[in-house]
Amino acid sequence: MSAAYTCTDCGGEFELPDAVRAKYPNWTPKQCIDCRSRPGKDGAAPKQGRAVRGKGNSVTRTQNLSTDEVLMRFTAGPDTGIFTDGSCQGNPGPGGWGAVYVRDGKVVEERHGQEPGTTNNRMELTAMINGLEMAPANEPITVYSDSQLVVKTLTAWAKGWEARGWKRKEGEVKNLDLVQRAWELVQLRPLARLEWIRAHDGSRWNEYADALSTAHLRDRT
């Protein structure tokens, strides 16, 4: 038997064998094998989003590091910006999100939360919403997400969906409530730049956002 997941990049469904789930019970894969092997559908990173790499030792979610452990272990990657991440155990299942605003390596603000029954994409969008809410309205700022789906939604697709009455050519817009709120915030933050960052690649503050998104798992142990 296998479990079905939704790729955060292409939105497609993919499966993870039960043997792998048994070995890594707390891991929720974000990408299908095709998207894991390339930065974008056409081999390029999304608009506004060249791949930002940490060039450090990667960490997997199975380690479930705390934010303090992340700060001790990782030093690479951008040290200014807003970093967002979402997670979900199962898809749907219990999930969490995290966002941290950093300036010159110092935390300005951080937020995190959880929902008992949700999806990975909803948690990624919720993290982005909170990140955009933290962004200064009239200052340049880069908001990072390791979900290409979220970055593409807000930099390439949302404008067209809105013009068509919030309809996709292929059908309904999934998670419309969150997409609309995130799009509203993007327009209110004209100097904010959305950028994709590679997941679990050793980037200190992306790993930190990931740790925030999984805080609810540590709280219950």
Choosing from 110, 124, 195, 207, which is the catalytic residue?
124
124 is catalytic: yes
- Select from 198, 212, 220, 221 the least CA-distant residue to 65: 212
* DSSP 3-state of 211: helix
200 is catalytic: yes
**Which candidate in 85, 110, 195, 201 is catalytic?**
85
- Locus of tokens 């805080």: 215
**Gap between the Cα atoms of 24 and 89, Å rounded:** 11
Q: What's the token pair of residue 175? A: 């998670």
CA 170 to chain centre: 24
79, 90, 184, 200: which is the annotated catalytic residue? 200
Catalytic residue among 98, 202, 210, 216: 210
- Catalytic residue, chosen from 86, 96, 98, 131, is 86
User: Known catalytic residue: 210?
Assistant: yes
Of the candidates 9, 146, 201, 207, the residue annotated as catalytic is 146
Which sign, positive or negative, has the C-alpha torsion 155, 158, 161, 167? Answer: positive
Known catalytic residues?
Answer: 85-86, 124, 146, 200, 210
